[in-house]
Structure 1
Amino acid sequence: MRLHSLLPLAIVTFATAQLKKLAQDAGKMYFGTATDNGELNNTQYVNILTDTDEFGQLTPSNGMKWFAIEPEFGVFNYSMGSVVADLAEENGQILRCHNLVWHSQLAPWVDALTWSKENLTEALIAHVTAEATHWKGKCYAWDVLNEALNDDGTYRNDTFLAVLGPEYIKIAFKAAAAADPDAKLYYNDCNIERVSNKSDSARKNIIKFLQDDNIRIDGIGLQSHFTVGRSPSLDDQISNMRLFADLGLEIAITELDVRVPDPPNSTGLEMQSKVYEESVGACVQVDECVGVTVWDFYDPFSWVPDTFPGMGSATLYFANFTKHPAYQGIVNALVNGTDSGEDEGCGNDDGREEDNKTKRSHHWQRT
């Protein structure tokens, strides 16, 4: 159902807006943000982060990735991942756990060792089982598998695929389901926010691939790293979400940010606000979309400037902690929905998936 901007509730403003409360009023489970350990010494930032009317869900940006959890073969260290997990628990915020298997930010030994099918299967099961068991019962959802597809929809040729073939996907999801049976199990990827070869492949070669073997997968994570002028329209996003919902999945926008040319001007910020409004509005209009997570909310902590020179200001708060117009765009979407989309293109400047190994920022890496 489309809701229109003439509804009286549209008078909600910055002074009264609280995103998590508005999201729940719109029938969503949460509105959340990613955060990272090194950011938690900024008092003003933490005050916003832990306002549970603003952000009802946290994702650790880096602390649960393979390099941090199993830095040496068979040696597990949960200290980095526990920082954000413990903060969420302390504040009663939903925890999305991110991630168990990804080709990037692996511990170096994973790519360096010579593997057989048998011993890599054993190592993969051991890693997924140990990590998911450690946080058993604390994670609303696990991003079990992250970015396993190239932009043309083919499988990414990493160590796991090279040794095990696509079966590694089944191995990871089966191990996660056994280790943390109450958590939602997600596939998470970028550039699958509109109908395309890649989103079609996610449905066929990840989701159906698992479902046809009766292996549980519960959700699809749409990362939604967008650029002004190149983002999928509202209708594109809704149509795509509904195709995932038709497979019995719940949907989450997991890493939303919208980059603009630096320095930002009023035109770019207005366009950014529209992209945020349409993306959140798509989630509002699709019942199976449970919530939205922004990939951090404070510009100085964004991964974007170091990865895309000349681009930035991708989040909701400027360096002086004033809010982007995009914040009001999100409020508008949560209160009223929105009517139609205009922008075309994908999350990257050239419409293709970026090389995740170059996604470096001052505080590790973004996804």
Structure 2
Amino acid sequence: MKPVRLITATLAAAALSIPLAAPASADPAPDHRGHNHPGHAKPGTLRWAAPDDLVIGTAVAGGGHHLEQDYPDPFTSDKEYRKLLARHFSSVSAENQMKWEYIHPARGEYDFGMADAIVEFAERHGQDVRGHTLFWHSQNPAWLEEGDFTDEELREILHDHITTVVGRYEGRIDQWDVANEIFDSSGELRTEENIWIRELGPGIIADAFRWAHEADPSAELYFNDYGVEDVNAKSDAYYELIRELLADDVPVHGFSAQVHLSTQYGFPGSLEENLQRFDDLGLGTALTEVDVRMRLPESGEPTPEQLEQQADYYEQALSACLGVEGCGSFTIWGFTDKYSWVPVFFEGEGSATIMDGQFTPKPSYFALKSTLLEAGDDHGWGPPPWAGRDW
């Protein structure tokens, strides 16, 4: 393997010296709360309300489209954002900072500055980390997509990337989205869009999982996609592929649905049923990128009816996860509209997260918290008197 040059983002390095909110250790959580992250789950927060077997997560805003916005990097510059990130969530995912174009800017060069900062932040605040993503058709650097490589060279580039990135965080990242969005809506492999499948054939998918497992045997390895919430052609394709891979002893540990929803469309009614069939294969399941966008009125502000429908969708998604024994991770794709990706990619739509641009919680926030508390009640735990305060 050729030696690699590691470069660290100046901004991320500076972020490590920024005083961050200390974990809230006062008012220790009752015994039935916060077992996964003792000392960090402050009463009244989402992570405290969550049952022991469920981590509640969010994407960490930064990289990608944020670089083109008229604000500084959210994660490194916004103290209130970091405070709420630590306070409410027991799991974090890098929104863009671990994707190829960001972490591998040139052949033989890796920029781990922001990824390191996120992992270290999570460790300080008792949070799990989901790695996103290793094998994708999108957000790849130009040097890769436009390069003239032999099959052998391309295979070694992928092997080096997975080994280097996963190996760097061995024992520190709990789940990896190894293969992301490899099927189209009809259930066909993306043989043209995905450089790895196009040039190296479908067998490279199994190799990616094997290489990731070799680099970190402790990490859970996932397939991840959008449009697979229902039982449909796309989720059927994943089901059949995973069955084949498991039969060949490929280390696949989980299947996750992104759950990017819109109030313009109906809720995916077979979500729980779909998760359950993957659970029946012995896999872990997760909801990894949950948000609920809406087409906004001319005022730019959602109506009460829209917010009520949005809260219902969030609650249904969480309830579907809670209804499946092996669904152990529920992640929203950003928690504040201030830094949401939705308005950038969906013109005229927005307000997709659980807090507005001033970090004020919406009905969706309270719907999630009450659903988490009710899940605890199902195990015989009654919410204490302070459960509804201190958002």
Maintained 8 Å contact 1:94/1:140: yes
Shift of 1:333: 2.1
Which AA in structure 1 matches 2:134? L
Higher relative contact order (CA 8 A, sep 6+): 1
% identical aligned pairs: 34
Paired residue for 1:221?
Answer: 256
Give the root-mean-square deviation of aligned CA atoms.
Answer: 1.6
User: How does the TM-score come out when normalised to structure 2?
Assistant: 0.78
Q: Structure 1's 267 and 194: CA in aligned 2 closer, same or farther, altered over 3 A?
A: same
Structure 2 residues not aligned, in runs of 5+? 1-41, 63-72, 376-391
Paired residue for 2:18?
Answer: none
1:36 and 1:132 mapped to 2: Cα distance?
A: 21
Paired residue for 2:173?
Answer: 139
Q: Which of 305, 311, 333 is the aligned partner of 2:371?
A: 333
Output one character per residue of 1:128-175: Cα deviation in whole Å (capped at 9) or x when no partner: 111100111100111111111111110112211111111110111110
Whether 1:178 and 2:203 are equivalent positions in the alignment is no
Shift of 1:229: 4.2
2:244 and 2:349 mapped to 1: Cα distance?
A: 37
Output aligned runs, 1:63-212, within 5 Å: 63-156=97-190, 157=192, 158-205=194-241, 207-212=242-247
Paired residue for 1:35?
Answer: 60
Output aligned runs, 1:160-309, within 5 Å: 160-205=196-241, 207-233=242-268, 235-262=269-296, 263-309=301-347
Q: Structure 1's 154 and 334: CA in aligned 2 closer, same or farther, altered over 3 A?
A: same
1:115 and 1:247 mapped to 2: Cα distance?
A: 38
1:177 and 1:320 mapped to 2: Cα distance?
A: 41
Shift of 1:232: 3.2
Paired residue for 1:10?
Answer: none
Maintained 8 Å contact 1:273/1:327: yes
Paired residue for 2:66?
Answer: none
1:255 and 1:216 mapped to 2: Cα distance?
A: 23
SS in 2 for 1:186: strand
SS in 1 for 2:129: strand
SS in 1 for 2:109: coil
Which AA in structure 2 matches 1:145? A
Maintained 8 Å contact 1:222/1:252: yes
Paired residue for 2:4?
Answer: none
User: How does the TM-score come out when normalised to structure 1?
Assistant: 0.83
Maintained 8 Å contact 2:175/2:219: yes
SS in 2 for 1:136: coil
Which AA in structure 2 matches 1:224? V
Q: Which of 3, 10, 23 is the aligned partner of 2:50?
A: 23
SS in 2 for 1:50: helix
Shift of 1:265: 0.4
Shift of 1:71: 1.2
Paired residue for 1:50?
Answer: 86
Paired residue for 2:382?
Answer: none
Which AA in structure 2 matches 1:193? E
Paired residue for 1:312?
Answer: 350
1:187 and 1:291 mapped to 2: Cα distance?
A: 14
Shift of 1:116: 2.8
Maintained 8 Å contact 2:43/2:49: no
Output one character per residue of 1:74-93: Cα deviation in whole Å (capped at 9) or x when no partner: 22221121121111112121
1:314 and 1:190 mapped to 2: Cα distance?
A: 16
Maintained 8 Å contact 2:338/2:358: no
Shift of 1:120: 1.4
Shift of 1:119: 1.8
Maintained 8 Å contact 1:129/1:175: yes
Shift of 1:331: 2.1
Shift of 1:231: 4.1
Maintained 8 Å contact 2:98/2:133: yes
Runs of 4+ off more than 3 Å? none
Shift of 1:17: 3.6
Whether 1:61 and 2:95 are equivalent positions in the alignment is yes
How many aligned residue pairs are there? 317
Paired residue for 1:6?
Answer: none
Identify which range, 224-233 or 123-132, moves more after superposition. Answer: 224-233
